[in-house]
Amino acid sequence: MVETVKIIRFHAEKCRGHYDCEKACSQVQFGDDTGGDHSAIRIVKSNGGFSMVNCDQCGLCIDVCPVQALKRLPSGVVTVNKELCIGCMSCVAFCPVDGMRRAKGMVYPHKCISCGACVRACPEGALELVEVPISEVERVVYYHQGVCD
């Protein structure tokens, strides 16, 4: 039984917009340091500061995947199995926090695996890897939608 999962926590007040996290992430995801759409974590300007867009390991995507390519590992982290993935990007479309990402030209999506590379890369200490109970993040959203009397 998976009880906890590590997620990335963002401290907006510390972020200075270096984007080193994105570069570090794209090293993990694609072996380059272009950041941007090659990164799972995205830093966006908002209200004069910055905010983070990233997977919170809620697992909603597991429910929309038609080929069960998305799984929650024993560590609690949700991952994409590219052997099974058929590239429909339903997970990208349905992710409520835009945490499932697609890079240009790519058949498969990519996402945060809570490896902590971004945390280590941030010179300001704006990112933190924290362990939280699964029950705090897990969502089974769609089932609750639609008609019901």
Tell me which residues touch another protein (CB under 8 A).
63-68, 84-90, 92-94, 102, 104-108, 140, 142-143, 145-149
CA distance 149 to 76: 34
> Given the complex with another protein, which of 12 and 86 has the nearer CB atom?
86
Q: 32 with 26: CB under 8 angstroms?
A: yes
> Given the complex with another protein, which of 32 and 98 has the nearer CB atom?
98
Instruction: Report the nearest approach of another protein to the CB of residue 39 (Å).
Output: 18
> Given the complex with another protein, which of 58 and 118 has the nearer CB atom?
58
Cβ-based neighbours of 11, under 8 Å, separated by 6 or more: 125, 126, 127, 128
Phi, psi (deg, nearest 5) at residue 116: 90, 5
Instruction: Report the nearest approach of another protein to the CB of residue 89 (Å).
Output: 5
Instruction: Report the nearest approach of another protein to the CB of residue 109 (Å).
Output: 10
Instruction: Report the nearest approach of another protein to the CB of residue 21 (Å).
Output: 24
Q: How many CB atoms lie within 10 A of CB 95?
A: 20
